[in-house]
Amino acid sequence: MPPANRHNPTRASSSGSEYSLTEFERDFPDDAACLEHLWRTRYSPDGEHAECPKCERERVFKRYATAQGRQSWTCTGCGHHVHPTAGTIFAKSSTSLQLWFYAMYLMASTRCGISAKQLERELGVSYRTAWRMFNKIRNELMKDDAEPLSGDVEVDETGVHGKPRGPRMTKKEAAQWRERQVSVLGMVERGGRVKLRVIKSRRGEPLSGAVRANVNPESIIFTDDWMSYKPLGKEYAGHKVINHSAGSYVLGDIHTNTIEGFFGNLKTGMRGAYKKVSHKWLQSYLDEYAWRYNQRRSGQAMFHALLERAAIEPSTAAVVDRGVRSTQ
Residues engaged in binding Zn ion (CB under 5 A): 52, 54-55, 75, 77-78, 80
Return d(Cα 8, Cα 22) in angstroms, integer.
Answer: 9
- In the complex with Zn ion, which residue's Cβ is closer, 54 or 230? 54
Handedness of CA 195, 201, 202, 203 (dihedral sign): negative
- In the complex with Zn ion, which residue's Cβ is closer, 55 or 320? 55
Residue 230's CB is within 10 A of a number of other CB atoms, namely 13
- In the complex with Zn ion, which residue's Cβ is closer, 40 or 80? 80
CB of 43 to Zn ion, least distance (A): 12
**192 neighbors 151 (Cβ within 8 angstroms):** yes
CB of 76 to Zn ion, least distance (A): 8
Residue 91 identity: A
Return d(Cα 110, Cα 288) in angstroms, integer.
Answer: 12
CB of 157 to Zn ion, least distance (A): 55
- In the complex with Zn ion, which residue's Cβ is closer, 80 or 203? 80
CB of 62 to Zn ion, least distance (A): 12
**50 neighbors 112 (Cβ within 8 angstroms):** no
- In the complex with Zn ion, which residue's Cβ is closer, 39 or 303? 39
**153 neighbors 181 (Cβ within 8 angstroms):** no
- In the complex with Zn ion, which residue's Cβ is closer, 53 or 272? 53
CB of 56 to Zn ion, least distance (A): 8
- In the complex with Zn ion, which residue's Cβ is closer, 72 or 258? 72
CB of 54 to Zn ion, least distance (A): 4
Pairing of strands 57-65, 194-199: unpaired
- In a 10 Å sphere around its CB, with 0-12 CB exposed, 13-18 middle and 19+ buried, how is residue 77 labelled? middle
- In the complex with Zn ion, which residue's Cβ is closer, 78 or 175? 78
Q: What is the DSSP string of 170-197?
A: PHHHHHHHHHHS-EEEEEEETTS-EEEE
- In the complex with Zn ion, which residue's Cβ is closer, 28 or 39? 39
Residue 274's CB is within 10 A of a number of other CB atoms, namely 17
The DSSP symbol for 244 reads: G
Return d(Cα 144, Cα 47) in angstroms, integer.
Answer: 31
CB of 69 to Zn ion, least distance (A): 23
Picking from 144, 143, 114, 111, the residue whose alpha carbon sits closest to that of residue 130 is 114
CB of 74 to Zn ion, least distance (A): 9
Question: Which residues are within 8 A (CB) of 186 and not within 5 positions of it... i.e. 6 or more apart?
Answer: 155, 156, 157, 158, 194, 195, 196, 259, 262, 263, 266
Spacing of C-alpha 243 from chain mean position: 33
Question: Which residues are within 8 A (CB) of 212 and not within 5 positions of it... i.e. 6 or more apart?
Answer: 232, 235, 327
Strand partners, 156: 186
